[in-house]
Amino acid sequence: MSWLLLWILIAAYSLNSTAMPPATALASPTPDPYNVTRYCKWPCECPEVAPKCPPGVSLLMDGCDCCKACARQVGEECNEADTCDFHKGLYCDYSSDKPRYEKGVCAYMTGTGCEYDGVLYRNGQSFKPSCKYQCLCVNGAIGCVSLCSESQPPRVWCQSPRRVKVRGQCCEQWICDEPKKGRKTAPRHASWHKNCITQTTSWSPCSKTCGRGLSLRISNANDQCELVQESRLCNLRPCEVDITKHIKPGKKCLNVYREDQPSHLTISGCTSKKWYRPKYCGVCTDERCCIPYKSKTVDVEFECPNGTGFTWKMMWIQACFCNLSCRNPNDIFAELESYHGYPEVVN
């Protein structure tokens, strides 16, 4: 009887331990650490009127392929819906949002760096080689603007303004050599407009001697009568064409070069809506160089493969002349230093 009683007690204990486990033994579901946020919602809900983007900001289709939106700029937050401005070579860097990779920061795409005066600069890096210039490295090319070009003559009716060096200051200052006699008149680039004396500087020389570059000027011809910096694209001559082959026998210069057939203009993978046959400045086989003498500014509309578009102001060359006033091609600041003294006829 003792063995039978012992067997019954063991069986009862075993049955109780399997059928009635303690509450602490219940397995709880593991929470999902990767709770993904959905920034895109369907169906699409877009405003009736597309947003108006600030100057220089592209209006693009959002990452959800739903609505037009202003592209995010460098340093701004981005995600699958809010895309970066690819026209400026920006992309969304998600590296700092591990492990979700939902939010990023707009940054420049990795490209070819630049070298100036023995210093290497990464693509997209802005730097000041001196107190006079602000430069930007863009995929192997250096573009610079003068930090002293915004200085204006002391009075718009001054007939003989000139710049002089001032001790202790980086930029030269304007002074006015007033004539003793004669009627005072406004300069060529000043006029009255809505109680505002508008002032516009000449366009700076193109930042590149061949291929697409940038030209700048300062103007207050706006509703706020405020001095702002304006920019336009420029292309003095194509880099891939040997223009010397088009110089006539017995001649040493070709003032103007032009392609035989019209073509579309391209920028950042986008194509101009219209066909163009622009004029370019030619070259010389001697020490002379050819620069624009007469030009105008035109608006060129571009359309992109994804359906977006934008408009850029572009320099349209009308006439060029060749002379000995050439700059050292290795001095990227020579044109910015003294372009005020070589005005160009602009329509």
CATH number of the domain residue 223 falls in: 2.10.90
Return the minimum-mean-pLDDT range out of 11-20, 84-93, 169-178, 270-279.
Answer: 11-20
Please give the pLDDT value at position 19.
Answer: 42
- The pLDDT tens digits of the residues spanning 12-59 come to 444 444 444 444 444 444 445 456 778 888 888 898 888 988 877 888
Residues 222 and 314 in one domain: yes
Please give the pLDDT value at position 71.
Answer: 92
The total of structural domains in the chain comes to 4
Is residue 340 very low, low, confident or very high in pLDDT (cuts 50, 70, 90)? very low
The answer to whether 59 and 310 have CB atoms below 8 angstroms apart is yes
Give the integer Cα–Cα distance in Å for 300 and 184: 39
Question: Distance of alpha carbon 130 from its chain centroid, rounded?
Answer: 22
Please give the pLDDT value at position 234.
Answer: 92
Structural domain that includes position 100: 39-110
Locus of tokens 């420049």: 108
Locus of tokens 């169906």: 43
The answer to whether position 65 is within a domain reads: yes
The answer to whether position 160 is within a domain reads: yes
Residues 244 and 171 in one domain: no
The answer to whether position 29 is within a domain reads: no
Q: What is the CATH number of the domain that holds 80?
A: 4.10.40
pLDDT: which is higher, 40 or 143? 40
The answer to whether 40 and 63 have CB atoms below 8 angstroms apart is yes
Residues 6+ apart with CB under 8 A from 275: 262, 263, 264
Locus of tokens 């937050």: 77
The answer to whether position 159 is within a domain reads: yes
> What's the average model confidence in pLDDT over 230-249?
91
Q: Does the pLDDT value for residue 267 go beyond 80? A: yes
Residues 83 and 67 in one domain: yes
Coil, helix or strand for 203? Answer: coil
Residues 83 and 128 in one domain: no
Give the integer Cα–Cα distance in Å for 72 and 39: 15
Give the integer Cα–Cα distance in Å for 22 and 24: 5
pTM of the predicted model as reported, rounded to 2 decimal places: 0.44
Return the minimum-mean-pLDDT range out of 8-17, 31-40, 56-65, 322-331.
Answer: 8-17
Give the integer Cα–Cα distance in Å for 107 and 91: 6
The answer to whether 284 and 322 have CB atoms below 8 angstroms apart is yes
Residues 231 and 319 in one domain: yes
Residues 293 and 223 in one domain: yes
Beta partners for 82?
Answer: none
* φ/ψ (deg, to 5) at 7: -65, -40
Please give the pLDDT value at position 121.
Answer: 83
Residues 168 and 141 in one domain: no
